[in-house]
Amino acid sequence: MFSCRREVTPLLSERLDRPLLFREQTNLQLHLLACRSCRHYGKHVKTLSQLSKAFKKFDDGK
C-alpha cells in the first residue's frame, strides 16, 4: 500500500503540472479508491490550483 503523505500527496500535486506515468496513474487511482483522506486532499489541491490560475489570469489582464 502507498504511504499517503510520502507518495500520494506529491503525485496529487504533480499531476496538475505534468502527465503522470501510467504506473503512477494506476497506483494513484487505486489508492484514491481506498483512501478517503487522499481523495479529499486531491480535490483540495485541484481547487487551489484552479484558484491560483484564475488569479494569474486576472493579473495578466491588467
Site residues for Zn ion per CB under 5 A = 4, 8, 35, 38
Residue number with CB closer to Zn ion (20 or 35)? 35
CB of 50 to Zn ion, least distance (A): 22
CB of 46 to Zn ion, least distance (A): 16
Ranges of beta strands (E only) in the chain are none
Residue number with CB closer to Zn ion (10 or 51)? 10
